[in-house]
Amino acid sequence: MCTNVVWSDLDVPLLVEDRRSAKRAFKVEYDAYDVEVAWDDKDVHEHIRKKNARRPCYGISKLKISVGRPLRMDQYPKDEEPKTNPGPRLDHADVAAIIMNRLIRYFRFTLGNPLRRVVRAQDLRSSNPEWTIENPNPSTVYAELRDFDPLAQGFAGLRYAPAFGIKPFTPEQAHEFKRALQANADYELYEELMVDARDALMQGNLRRAVIEMATACEVLTKELFAKKKVKFRSKTSTVVLLDADAEKAFGASFKQDNLKDWQNIKYLFRCRGDAAPQGNPQNVAIATLQAWWDSLETLITWVQIR
Q: Which residues of 105-140 are buried (b: 16+ CB within 10 A; e: fewer)?
A: bbbbbbbbbbbbeebebeebbebebeeeeebeebbb
pLDDT in the model for residue 120: 84
pLDDT in the model for residue 104: 92
Q: Which residues of 245-255 are buried (b: 16+ CB within 10 A; e: fewer)?
A: bbeebeeebbb
Q: Are residues 44 and 119 in the same domain?
A: yes
Answer whether residue 166 is part of any domain: no
Work out how many domains the chain is built from and give that number: 2
pLDDT in the model for residue 153: 47
* Domain that residue 239 falls in: 189-304
Query: What residues are paired with 68 via a beta bridge?
Result: 34
CA nearest 103: which of 34, 48, 211, 184?
A: 184
Answer whether residue 157 is part of any domain: no
Q: 0.85 exceeded by the pTM? A: no
Q: Are residues 144 and 198 in the same domain?
A: no
Answer whether residue 182 is part of any domain: no
Residue-wise DSSP of 245-260:
IHHHHHS--HHHH-HH
Mean pLDDT by 10 residues, the chain (306 residues): 49 79 84 85 69 77 77 52 56 87 94 87 66 44 40 58 89 94 93 95 89 96 90 86 91 95 96 74 82 97 92
Answer whether 141's CB lies under 8 Å from 75's CB: no
Q: For residue 52, give Cα distances in angstroms to 56, 101, 170, 180, 231.
A: 10, 33, 17, 30, 46
Q: Are residues 16 and 127 in the same domain?
A: yes
pLDDT in the model for residue 205: 87
Answer whether 284's CB lies under 8 Å from 202's CB: no
Q: Which residues contact 229 (CB under 8 A, 6 or more apart)?
A: none
Q: Are residues 68 and 204 in the same domain?
A: no
CA nearest 104: which of 94, 118, 92?
A: 118
Answer whether 131's CB lies under 8 Å from 164's CB: no
pLDDT in the model for residue 269: 94
Q: Are residues 204 and 295 in the same domain?
A: yes
Answer whether residue 201 is part of any domain: yes
Answer whether 124's CB lies under 8 Å from 50's CB: no
User: Helical H runs in 189-230?
Assistant: 189-202, 206-227
pLDDT in the model for residue 150: 32
pLDDT in the model for residue 82: 55
Q: Are residues 44 and 92 in the same domain?
A: yes
* Segment (H or E) for 182: helix 174-182
Q: Are residues 144 and 280 in the same domain?
A: no
- CATH assignment at residue 269: 1.20.120
3-state class percentages of the chain: helix first, strand second, coil last, to nearest 5: 45, 20, 35
Query: What residues are paired with 66 via a beta bridge?
Result: 36, 140
